[in-house]
A and B are shown apart, each in its own frame.
Chain A
Amino acid sequence: MKKGSLARREARIGWCYAALPLCGFAVFFLVPFLISILRSFQKGLTQEFVGLENYAELLQSEAFRTAAINTLRFIAFAVPLNVLIGLLIALALYRLIARASFFRTVFLIPYVIPVSATVMFFQILFERSGFINTVLRMIGAEPVSFLDSSNAFYILLLLYLWKNFGYNMVLFLAGLSRIPRDYSDAACIDGAGTLQTFWYITMPLLAPTFFFVFVISIMNSFKVFREAYALGGEYPHESIYMLQHFMNNNLLNLNYQRVSTASLYVFVVIVLLVLLLYLRRQKKGEYQL
């Protein structure tokens, strides 16, 4: 009896602390999100229920298809590369190097600097008459168009990696520092080589970190819109026309149906992606003990 009332008291206090942030989430994200789910099944002006018509219509739209394919393609390239680079650099810094803290700080600089502060450099670097083309001309090669051709996609990829590898490195460094030294020492005594130790000891123990790094990398890969916007404005070259461009243009035209429908597509894809990673982690986690 007494225990029950204590638990009730605890629950009450817990709700009090959670109330403020949860109200904010509800007001700014959850309720309007539910409304936009509703809208995605309605017709624009008359608000009559039309089922999946908006969804089918959106898939027909050239602009949406371009934006969606570009975004997916970008994630497919950027996320694995970013994870790999972050891991390699973290491994290099973790064991091999004195002054690792110096490099760690330097490698985080691109992550904290907003793209608007460095975009002028990148423009001067990649312009038709920019630094790289000047050098190419000096060695007698043909100038290359970087920003107004399909090469823009790879420039964007480069900018993303430049910006985000440092944060992934920090996440991996945190993960590595949780692995007790005794494990790899024991493996060393048993005669395991560096590669073997890495593959059989370090990798399985890093599994939870991998999950987190993948999720963060996917989250950040959507933010590459900032770079695309800085380089190309509202209507950049086709190859870097991202979903956010599509959303913005439709929001400004007050076309809520399309925006709602598009954001639901993104929602489903993201949730599936994270679920997939989560299930994979569960499977990998079995190696842990």
Chain B
Amino acid sequence: MKRHGVRKKTVTYWLVWTGCLLIAVMVLLPVVFTIFASFMSPEEVALNYGEMSLENGFTPLHFLPDRISLSAYREVLIETPRYLMQFWISLGICVAICVGQVFLSILGGYAFSRFRFRFRDAIFFGVIVLMVLPYQVTLAPSYMVIRALGLLNTNASLIFPGIFSAFGLFLMRQIMASVPDSILEAASLDGANTFVALWRVMVPCCSSGIKALVLLSFVDAWSMVEQPIVFITDAFRQPLSVFLLRVGKEDMALGFACSVLFIIPVLFLLLLFEKQLVEGIVQSEIK
């Protein structure tokens, strides 16, 4: 279907287009700056943004590296294994959270959208309340449990509360409720039990919603700060999202290179699933 506005390129069109372009520049600036800075030699970083600029009282408006240097990357990727290790550990934690959360949300969403049982609606209302509660409410209770289970200072303390997500369950329930009954009835007439129907029929029908949840849950886990700074007191065991803050304070050049490394997985996931994010949200709003 042809859109109205696109056909005639009016003044409004170009105004809006320029506006969007300006916003895009503002959005990309911090990222592009970080990427450029990661290719500067440590001396150049120190000269421009480090101690020297503090003493002078100003920072030169200097964005492009004078000479492309890979020394920060060599340090981060090869010479000091700690950074790369931390990266893989963080990735492992986030993948575990993401997979667990998606799996449990699919089970829960299926139960709440396709079966009638007593207290179902009351419990679902409880799930919605839990969903809107910020960490300020849930963190202290979770801390008590994690301490009681002896999980403080372990990666499990980040994974376990993380995989139980009310938001994930809510999203999957909404999306699954939009799948027509007739499809599932056809499956059960063909002799599929509920479990087979879930994985063979329901999950493929909701694939864009599931991809949207993968993106959202991974992004949330990848940037967690609240849980690690409370559950993990040992600074060396903290995931990259917190660890990186210290790297940047100690050595700016390494900080920039680590930041770029840190951005890659989420950027990759965004480019992969961006389309499904919108589709998934559209589906979830149909009641």
Contacts and interface: CB of A to CB of B under 8 A. Distances in A.
B196 interface: no
A7 B24 CA distance: 54
Given A162-B26, A162-B27, A226-B225, A130 B110 contact: no
Nearest to B143: A251
Contacts of B120: 14
B78 interface: no
Interface in B139-159: 139-145
A95 B141 contact: no
B269 interface: yes
A171 interface: yes
Interface stretch (A41-49, A51-59, A267-275): A267-275
16 contacts: A14-B115, A28-B142, A113-B266, A116-B248, A116-B259, A120-B248, A129-B54, A133-B58, A174-B285, A177-B278, A177-B282, A219-B132, A252-B230, A260-B140, A263-B136, A263-B140
Contact of A112 (B33, B53, B219, B285): B219
A82 interface: no
A34 to B, nearest CB: 9
Interface of B: 1, 3-6, 12-13, 16-17, 19-20, 23-24, 26-31, 33-34, 37, 49, 53-54, 56-61, 104-105, 107-108, 110-112, 114-118, 120, 123, 127, 129-145, 160-161, 163-164, 166, 169, 194, 198, 215, 219, 222-223, 225-226, 229-230, 233, 240-242, 244-245, 248, 252, 255-256, 259-260, 262-263, 266-267, 269-271, 274-275, 277-278, 281-282, 285-286
A17 B108 contact: yes
Contacts of A266: 134, 136-137
Contacts of B139: 244, 247, 251, 263
B198 to A, nearest CB: 8
B285 A178 contact: yes
A225 B267 CA distance: 23
A109 B116 contact: no
A134 B20 CA distance: 27
Contacts of B112: 18
B34 A32 contact: no
Given A14-B115, A95-B5, A267-B133, 14 more contacts: A10-B116, A33-B138, A92-B20, A105-B271, A109-B267, A112-B266, A116-B259, A134-B61, A212-B285, A215-B132, A222-B135, A243-B136, A248-B229, A252-B233
B104 A20 contact: yes
Interface string A2-39: 00000100111111111011101101111111011000
Contacts of A271: 129, 132
Most buried by B among A22, A177, A251: A22
A288 interface: no
A183 interface: no
Interface of A: 7, 10-18, 20-22, 24-25, 27-33, 35-36, 89, 92-93, 95-98, 101, 103-122, 124, 127-131, 133-135, 137, 162, 166, 170-171, 173-175, 177-178, 181, 208-209, 212, 215, 218-219, 222-223, 225-226, 229-230, 243-244, 247-248, 251-252, 256, 259-260, 262-264, 266-267, 270-271, 274
A11 B118 contact: yes
Which secondary structure characterizes the binding site on chain A? helix
A32 B27 contact: no
Given A256-B140, A270-B133, A270-B134, A20 B107 contact: yes
B27 A93 contact: no
Contact of B117 (A15, A117, A247): A15
Nearest to A124: B49
Nearest to A34: B141
B270 A116 contact: no
Top 5 nearest A-B pairs (CB, nearest first) are A14-B115, A32-B141, A114-B223, A24-B164, A222-B134
Contacts of B144: 32, 35-36, 256
Contacts of A96: 5-6, 12-13, 16-17
A17 B111 contact: yes
